[in-house]
Copies of this chain bind each other. A is one copy, B any other.
Amino acid sequence: MEIITDIASLRTRLERESKIGFVPTMGNLHEGHLSLVRIAQKNADCVVVSIFVNRLQFAPHEDFDRYPRTQESDCQLLEKLGVDIVFLPSERTLYPVPQTFQLLLPSVADSLEGEFRIGFFRGVATVVLKLFNIVQPHVAVFGKKDYQQLHIVRQMVAQLNLPVTILTGETVRTEHGLALSSRNSYLSEGEQREASHLFRTLLQVKHEIVRGDHNYRSLEVSAKQVLSQRGWKVDYIAVQQQTSLLPAEGGDTDLVILGAAWLNQTRLIDNLELSVDQVTSDQR
């Protein structure tokens, strides 16, 4: 496995590759990331994983400084998996001058995560665009855990005519249902046990929709109350259309239930897809 830190060397190394798969990450890798790497490996001849904690997508008050950095063990995991290249740029390499060219995003980027993390998706989209231009991958893999990010990256690829195919990986969970996340490392043992209640609450909403309750706004309110009563501070619970990420209405079939909430000092997000037709005709 090669570890490359500068753009020119990476480009030279990749010149001879005909089918490049790319997994951009912020490091602190867990089984969720590794599952994306495996998808890249199935769909490309040469797999590049980038590790870069992107300051541009953190607001000043957020956890940029304490975000877990575990480069050495990350590289060991990737080597074991058979990754070809790890791209480890410094901040100076990716942002040699202030990044005054950024992406202006559609209004969907101001909803859900974007409402609570101002500028987050602009930072994400801008660094993903830069990394795509550097790596020039044929396929790039993103996890459904960051559902809205996946939605925005896909729209960006379509609207900017980027020559890359986006593949997706399912959310990987602990046995209790907690979605794997680098931020889970902020949780105490007790908090880890409580943390799966975000998933359980989304699952409860899903069950109620399957049972035929399509009053999504009131399901959202009830779900928020459940978590609040357990001591969480809820940013949002939202039943949206999968394709537009706009609020779902009665007749919509392909839904996603998204949630974000604070467990003490740690902010967790999760989501569940469901297809109303499928599940209502299959009421187990």
| Copies of this subunit | 2
* A59: interface (CB < 8 Å): no
Q: Which residues of B contact A105 (CB under 8 A)?
A: 100-101
Considering the chains assembled together, what is the distance between the CA atoms of A136 and B130 in angstroms?
Answer: 15
CB closest chain-B residue, reference A100: B106
Do the beta carbons of A11 and B159 come within 8 Å of each other?
Answer: no
**Could you give 21 example pairs across A and B, Cβ below 8 Å?**
A7-B161, A11-B163, A100-B105, A100-B106, A100-B159, A101-B104, A101-B105, A101-B106, A101-B125, A101-B155, A101-B160, A103-B103, A104-B104, A129-B160, A130-B160, A133-B160, A133-B161, A133-B163, A134-B161, A134-B163, A136-B163
Residues of B within 8 A of A100 (CB): 105-107, 155, 159
* Chain A interface (Cβ < 8 Å from any Cβ of B): 7, 11, 97, 99-107, 122, 125, 129-130, 133-134, 136, 155-156, 158-163
- Checking B103, B134, B156 against A104 with a beta-carbon cut-off of 8 angstroms, the contacting residue is B103
Pair B101/A102 contact, Cβ less than 8 Å: no
User: CA–CA, A107 to B159, complex, Å?
Assistant: 24
Distance from A95 Cβ to chain B, minimum over Cβ atoms (Å): 9
Chain B residue contacts of A97, Cβ below 8 A: 158-159
Residue of B nearest to A108 (CB): B100
A155 to B162, CA, bound (A): 19
Q: Provide the bound-state CA to CA distance between A7 and B125, in Å.
A: 23
Find the B residue at minimum CB distance from A134.
Answer: B161
Known: A100-B107, A102-B103, A130-B160. 11 other contacts (CB 8 A): A99-B159, A100-B105, A100-B106, A101-B103, A101-B104, A101-B105, A101-B125, A101-B159, A103-B104, A129-B160, A134-B161
Which chain B residue lies CB-closest to A106? B100
Nearest residue (CB) in B for A122 is: B104
| A161 CB contacts on chain B under 8 angstroms | 7, 130, 133-134
3 A-B pairs with the lowest CB-CB distances in the bound complex, closest first = A100-B106, A101-B159, A133-B161
Cβ of A120 to closest chain B Cβ, rounded Å: 15
Contacts of A125 in B (CB 8 A): 101
A129 to B132, CA, bound (A): 13
* Chain B residue at minimal CB-CB distance from A130: B161
Q: Cα distance A134–B163 when bound, in Å? A: 7
Q: A206 to nearest B CB, angstroms?
A: 30
A70 to chain B, nearest CB (A): 26
Q: Chain B residue with minimal CB distance to A97?
A: B159
> Which of A101, A102, A130, A136 has most chain B Cβ within 10 Å?
A101
What is the minimal beta-carbon distance from A283 to any residue of chain B, in angstroms?
37
